[in-house]
Amino acid sequence: MFDNPTHTTLDKMGEFALIDHITKHVKLTHANTVKGIGDDAAVLLKSVDTLQVITTDMLVEGVHFDLMYTPLKHLGYKAVIVNLSDICAMNAVPRQITVSIAVSSKYTLEAIEELYSGILAACNIYKVDLVGGDTTSSKSGLVISITAIGETNINNITYRHTANENDLICVTGDLGAAYMGLQVLEREKQVFLENPDVQPDIEGHDYIVERQLKPEARIDIIAQLLKEQVVPTSMIDISDGLASELLHICKASNLGCNIYESKIPIDSVTFQTALDFNIIPQVCAMNGGEDYELLFTIKQEDFEKIKDKDSITVIGHMTAQGNSANMITNANTVLPIEAQGWKHF
């Protein structure tokens, strides 16, 4: 099946090339498997008019989180949100999760209880049932793997590959905050390592630090779209940065796009903190990641239904097949969009 005459290291491929390489050998055999690998979640036919969506995600200590500044309760909460966000990105509502953890002997019972208190808090807030999982030992720290299950009407399911030319591009909330929250936390970690007697200073940065440690899934947007009878033509959640997610939709839909720098929503605290760190604020929004907002496209005729929603911003439009993905800057120059966000290898 796999015929590789040479040894290829994963850092030369990257996550998405690796996924493409593996999944080209995957064949679906069951009639009720509507959508397999390649979107935010798999899609299964549950009944005549209902689809079930399933997604899974893994968080690894030292790779995805640093326990020097990540409270275990926040970590448990975030681990759930990461998966619920993928369910929302299919225009679906989360219903159940399973939780599997691998944990080393350095952890106490009380620490695991703290982790699960965050998991259960997320379940309570989002009305999701914890229905199973697994626990095993680890020799290299904590690993959390969560599978989320949701559902949606067959007419409301939304994929990455179904955007159309001239569709409007929308994002929810504001972008770049989680990345700048991480920069503040990393700065305070270095200060602590140099002088453990110095207390962390995050005054004025509460919002962006919370966006990093305790993000939220935009299930409220799914409810708004349903109420306004707007079915997005495509959708994805913003986990690896706006640039990366735009390119996913463009590639999957075989289209280009134009977005406008002036339209990208950036919170004032994010903006100022980026400048304090000598970072261009728009770079944080485009490439920072972990915002867990939604990026979606809609038909132009649906604009009137969403134009007054404070939590939704139109940032551009899809362009014809063969066009590139571009950002129109404030100086009216055209910059090609490149994915420079999180790299898994």
Provide CATH 3.30.1330.10 ranges for the chain.
Answer: 10-153
Of 111, 137, 119, 124, the C-alpha closest to 83 is 119
pTM over 0.95: no
**Can you spell out the DSSP letters for 279-292?**
--HHHHHHH-----
What does the pLDDT average to over 2-29?
66
- Residue 79 sits at φ, ψ, to 5 deg, of -60, -35
Provide CATH 3.90.650.10 ranges for the chain.
Answer: 168-336
pLDDT band with cut points at 50, 70 and 90 for residue 197: confident
Sort strands 325-328 and 256-260 into parallel, antiparallel or unpaired.
Answer: parallel
Q: Are 297 and 259 in contact (CB under 8 A)?
A: no
The reported pLDDT for the residue numbered 201 is 82
Of 36, 37, 38, 34, the C-alpha closest to 48 is 34
What does the pLDDT average to over 23-47?
87
Which two structure tokens, joined as six digits, stand for 173?
A: 């909330």
pLDDT in tens, 201-246: 888 999 999 999 999 999 999 999 999 999 999 999 999 999 999 9
Where does 10-153 sit in CATH, by number? 3.30.1330.10
Burial class (CB in 10 A: 0-12, 13-18, 19+), 299: middle
The reported pLDDT for the residue numbered 51 is 98
Which two structure tokens, joined as six digits, stand for 74?
A: 């926040």
Superfamily in which the 168-336 domain is placed by CATH: PurM-like C-terminal domain (3.90.650.10)
- Which DSSP helix (H) or strand (E) runs through 342? none
Where are the alpha helices (H) located in 293-336, listed in sequence order? 303-306
Asked if the model's pLDDT at residue 343 lies above 90, the reply is no
Cα-Cα-Cα-Cα dihedral sign, residues 28, 89, 185, 264:
positive
The 8-class DSSP code of residue 61 comes to B
